[in-house]
Amino acid sequence: MKKKIAGALLIGLTCLYASEIDTQIKACHNGDIKRCFEAGMALTTGENAEDQEKKSLGLEFIRKACKYGEAKACDALGENYYQDKHYQAAKPYLIDACNKGTKHACEAMGTMYRDAQEVRQNDTLAREYYEKACALGSADSCINIAIMYRGGFGVEKNRAQEKKYYKKACDTGSKVGCTTYTKMDNKDKGIEEPGFFDKVKSLFN
């Protein structure tokens, strides 16, 4: 009996959700650009995203919202293109979103240039975008920069800079950032440990 009730509730909620999307679509056709965006997001997220037909329809609504000035729609369009590996299509939207301070867009652009995703590989540009994302609170981007300084990818190897960015990652709540920074910091402070210089002298006796 409980299973039947749960099933009925699920069907009811599904119908209600579908009805809400229909309302958004009608409002979109009547010129409400915000509702175009809402309909597009509803059709490209959750279970709907698994239905290619619904997702394609949703992207059309998002494109329309973007075209008529809905900034969030342009950001969402870039993210969708990127997730679908249409990197060149995503690029202008991601750059615009990054310039407006959208963390994930800056991070995506950094990865695009680092991994040569339909662009010429460029560690300098990758680092610049990762730096923007790191400043916006992306721990992964901070760690990526630290790795670049460790390996000398597009920069001269620099242990101080490596530590700096692990610390930034730590400050944003990254466990990996904190652990790595602590290990590096303790190693650097080794010369301050009692008896350190006596140990060094003993090597030459």
pLDDT at 152: 95
- pLDDT mean over 97-126: 96
Residue 21 lies in a domain: no
Q: Is residue 66 part of a domain?
A: yes
Task: Kindly state the greatest CA–CA separation across the chain.
Answer: 89
Residue 189 is predicted with a pLDDT of: 56
Sign of CA dihedral 98, 147, 87, 36: negative
Is position 117 within any domain?
no
- Is residue 69 assigned to a domain? yes
Looking at every residue in the chain, the average pLDDT score rounds to 85
| pTM score | 0.76
Q: Does a structural domain hold residue 74? A: yes
Question: Would you say residue 171 has pLDDT above 50?
Answer: yes
pLDDT tens digits for range 26-68: 999 999 999 999 999 999 988 888 899 999 999 999 999 999 9
Range of the domain at 52: 29-84
199: Cβ contacts below 8 Å, ≥ 6 apart? none
Query: How many structural domains does the chain have?
Result: 1
Q: Quick check: is 148 in a domain? A: no
